[in-house]
Amino acid sequence: GENVEQHPSTLSVQEGDSAVIKCTYSDSASNYFPWYKQELGKRPQLIIDIRSNVGEKKDQRIAVTLNKTAKHFSLHITETQPEDSAVYFCAAKRGPQVGGGGADGLTFGKGTHLIIQP
Amino acid sequence: DTEVTQTPKHLVMGMTNKKSLKCEQHMGHRAMYWYKQKAKKPPELMFVYSYEKLSINESVPSRFSPECPNSSLLNLHLHALQPEDSALYLCASSVEIAGYQETQYFGPGTRLLVL
């Protein structure tokens, strides 16, 4: 099955600096890669996602890059703010499986605790 | 309605009890999911329903029994649970894009404590 590795486990940056979180995946059939932010006691919230036919996607201060050959993808947050402090999870989803009806679950990385220092 | 809702928010049950978790969405999504999340860990997939049919069971013990009565509702029936089953149970639903169920939206979860 799919295995997603995520680094670092904890990242502390000064407010206003950039943060980068990296993930690798093992299954070359994976074709969809979302990033979720989870604050303490809250649900995971989708912040950005990318499909395997795209190399980069940006949404204001957040960007994701994907290297299919190397099987790794990264989250970039610029101009970090205190409200960016949370746990961030990367995830990967396989392409459609026989009998799956087009649906498949996500395999998550172990998470990165991002701390923004004021 | 653009949210996935879950009830109850919290649940405490004994090992001999039977209880059910409920998940609802009115976004017209045709795939729904159950995940389990232990403290300081990522969510782990349990079940996937696609068009109201169980399509994936990640080798979950039979003391967890999912049910999808209609396209908006997903239940998880619990029976004879163990203390190690204490966790946050998250429901998600996904929107179909070009024939594939992709972007998954999570409910707030039910925090379960088994005594």
Q: Which residues of B touch A43 (CB under 8 A)?
A: 90, 106-109
Please write the tens of the pLDDT for every residue from A70-111.
999 999 999 999 999 999 999 999 766 555 556 788 999 999
pLDDT at B101 (0 to 100): 62
Tokens 């782990």 found at: B44
Cis peptide before B108 (omega within 30 of 0): no
Lowest mean pLDDT among A17-21, A60-64, B61-65, B100-104: B100-104
Largest CA distance in chain B: 45
- Nearest neighbour of B106 by CB, restricted to A43, A99, A107: A43
**Among A43, A93, A108, whose Cβ lies nearest the Cβ of B107?**
A43
d(CA A37, CA A47): 7
pLDDT at residue B95, as a whole number: 81
Q: What confidence score (pLDDT) does residue B112 get?
A: 97
Rounded Cα distance, B21 and A114, in Å: 31
Beta-carbon separation of A105 and B56 below 8 A: yes
Q: What is the pLDDT of residue A98?
A: 57
Phi, psi of B83 (to 5 degrees): -55, -35
Summarize the confidence of residues A32-60 as an average pLDDT.
94
pLDDT value at B1 more than 70: no
Residue A99 confidence (pLDDT): 53
pLDDT at B98 over 80: no
Nearest-Cα residue of chain A relative to residue B53 = A101
CB contact under 8 A, A106 and B48: no
Q: What is the pLDDT of residues B40-91, one digit of tens each?
A: 999 999 999 988 999 889 999 999 999 999 999 999 999 999 999 999 999 9
pLDDT at A49 over 60: yes
Torsion of CA A5, A11, A17, A19, to 10 degrees: 10
